[in-house]
Amino acid sequence: MRRSRSRRCWGAEVSAVMVRIQQRQAAEQTGLDDAQAYGELPALLTHGLTT
The amino acid occupying position 29 is: Q
User: Higher model confidence: residue 10 or residue 26?
Assistant: 26
Q: Report d(CA 49, CA 51) in Å as an integer.
A: 6
Tell me, what's the pLDDT at 50?
80
Burial 26-48 (b: 16+ CB within 10 A, else e): beeeeeeeeeebeeeeeeeeeee
Q: What is the pLDDT of residues 24-41, one digit of tens each?
A: 999 999 999 999 999 999
Q: How sure is the predictor about 1, in pLDDT bands with cuts at 50, 70 and 90?
A: very low
At 48, is the pLDDT very low, low, confident or very high (cuts 50, 70, 90)?
confident
Please state, rounded to an integer, the average pLDDT across all residues of the chain.
88
pLDDT score recorded for residue 3: 59
DSSP state of 24: T
